[in-house]
């Protein structure tokens, strides 16, 4: 799943960053990523041809605070070196202010985590973009998110594929997120309240798994549900330990490889994960 379209992604990134820097008006409609890359290259006919062949799905669009989202992407995400055009486009589209508490609306587009209640947080935009970029999601990929929270990460993922499945262990947050998805028009996200440690076997295997809470170890059920050729991004470490963001990949033969990326700080995974292996 990873590294499949990097040349297109890198080229399109240059177009997007240049447009952001110039303050150009970017048009992000209900186009597929392949169509976006073709349009960025100036080949409208090729874009139309590819659009016919590509998977399409409805994604909601929001005008309010659009310029703040553009500035957030330019300053904190593209400006920090992230280069995946489709991830940058997704971050420009999803209205983060609709996923935070009313008291935090003013800080919605700052690069910082914000509390969402019940001891949980919405991750800072850079981390959301970085983890999403690592997954290298393609249209049609099946992606599992562990830790729905307010739903922001899931909304970003559904900009890249319609097959997003999200699990939240805190019932109140899970119910709120499900209603928020419905209210905002994110109709392709499937969510439920459950212990994410065990994954979502009914919809496995997954091309990508993204975990937004830190576990003391990588849950074996998630490894089992990861599709050969897929990848999982997960923070690993205890509450009072240094946590590291880990990328786990499974090759076509089912062999597991893990790579330690950078130190992070996430809220802990609760439920079965706290009982140890």
Our answer to whether residue 123 is catalytic in this structure is yes
Backbone angles phi, psi at 125, to 5 degrees: -55, -40
Name the active-site residue from 36, 123, 150, 191.
123
For 76, half-sphere exposure in the C-beta direction (CA atoms, 13 angstrom radius) is: 20
CA dist 273 and 15 (Å) reads 43
CA distances from 22 to 17, 33, 126, 230 (A): 9, 22, 21, 37
CA distances from 42 to 18, 23, 239 (A): 15, 19, 49
The residue to which tokens 């033969």 are assigned: 253
β-pairing, 163-168 vs 189-193, is parallel
E-state strands within 177-217? 189-193, 206-211
Q: Is the peptide bond before 161 cis (omega within 30 degrees of 0)?
A: no
Residues carrying an active site annotation:
123
């Amino acid at each position: 799943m990873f590294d499949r379209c990097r040349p297109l992604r890198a080229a399109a990134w240059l177009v997007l960053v240049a447009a952001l820097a110039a303050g150009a008006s970017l048009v992000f409609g209900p186009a597929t990523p392949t169509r976006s890359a073709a349009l960025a290259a100036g080949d409208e006919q090729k874009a139309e041809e590819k659009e016919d062949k590509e998977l399409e799905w409805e994604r909601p669009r929001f005008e309010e605070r659009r310029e703040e989202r553009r500035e957030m992407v330019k300053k904190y995400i593209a400006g920090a070196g992230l280069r995946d055009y489709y991830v940058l486009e997704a971050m420009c589209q999803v209205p983060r202010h609709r996923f935070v508490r009313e008291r935090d609306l003013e800080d919605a587009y700052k690069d910082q985590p914000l509390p969402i209640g019940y001891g949980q947080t919405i991750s800072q935009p850079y981390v959301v973009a970085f983890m999403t970029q690592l997954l290298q999601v393609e249209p049609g990929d099946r992606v599992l998110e562990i830790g729905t929270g307010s739903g922001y990460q899931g909304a970003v993922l559904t900009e890249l594929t319609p097959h997003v499945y999200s699990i939240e262990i805190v019932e109140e947050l899970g119910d709120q997120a499900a209603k928020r998805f419905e209210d905002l028009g994110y109709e392709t996200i499937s969510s439920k309240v459950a212990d994410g440690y065990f994954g979502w076997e009914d919809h496995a295997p997954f091309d990508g798994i993204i975990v937004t809470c830190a576990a003391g170890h990588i849950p074996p059920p998630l490894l089992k549900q990861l599709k050969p050729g897929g990848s999982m991004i997960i923070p690993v470490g205890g509450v009072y330990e240094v946590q590291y963001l880990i990328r786990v990949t499974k090759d076509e033969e089912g062999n597991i490889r893990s790579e330690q990326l950078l130190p992070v700080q996430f809220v802990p995974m609760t439920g079965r994960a706290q009982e140890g292996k």
